[in-house]
Amino acid sequence: MNETKDSVIVLFHDDDCERMIGLKGGIQNYNYSQILNHPYIFNGKTTNNKVLTLEETFKTFGNDFVIYLDIKNRTYDFMEKVISLIKKFSLESSTIIASAHFVLIARIEFDYPEINTCLEGFNSGKESVYYFIPSDFKPDFYASFIHNVNQDHINWLKDKNLLYNKIVYGVDSSNYQKAKLLGLKKILIDYDSTINMQQILE
């Protein structure tokens, strides 16, 4: 998630626009009206799907899903704009702000304890980070790629009663069973048109 040149908050993950919408440079170099003229590209083909704003996403889907916001813009001013929108739509309980930037997440947790926060990059072998975070600054969730989770990490999470607070991403049909066998409950599944979701969730 990032911000356009004219300060519109949009759901856009890549640092560069070329792969997804065919424009050179970052999303912050363009006004939102320019972005609208360039729909998403998927598997090399232009689609009818446009880059969504955070506001329209909250308005349309906010009451139907838990929304995980992977923040790319690391300025606190940007974070406060995001938090303002979360509050506008009363989505404090169903939205998670996620970033690998510890200081940013810690400050949000301290200033806005009602907002769900998630520290990304909390991999196997990085458990010691937990002990250096003061209690008032600890995030609500800890996340990592599924391939950075092993049984020792799971055992540590269980010991700290944090297994329910662990989120894994990078999950697809090849590793979903691993996530399930490890006892993980909060799983972000990558989109793949070949996946039979009914089968994978059985």
Render pLDDT for 5-46 as a digit per residue (tens, 0 to 9). 999 999 998 889 999 999 999 999 999 999 999 999 988 899
Tell me how far apart the alpha carbons of residues 198 and 202 are, in angstroms, rounded to a whole number. 6
Architecture of domain 54-200: Alpha-Beta Barrel (3.20)
Q: What is the average per-residue pLDDT within 139-165?
A: 97
Q: What percent of the chain has pLDDT over 90?
A: 82
Full-model pTM: 0.89
Tell me the average pLDDT across 101-121.
Answer: 96
Buried b (16+ CB within 10 A) or exposed e, 86-117: beebebeebbbbbbbebebbbebbeebeebbb
Task: Check residue 201 and give its pLDDT.
Answer: 55
In this predicted structure, the answer to whether residue 200 has a pLDDT above a threshold of 90 is no
Roughly how many angstroms between the first and final C-alpha of the chain, as a whole number? 31
Q: Where are the domains of the chain?
A: 2-46, 54-200
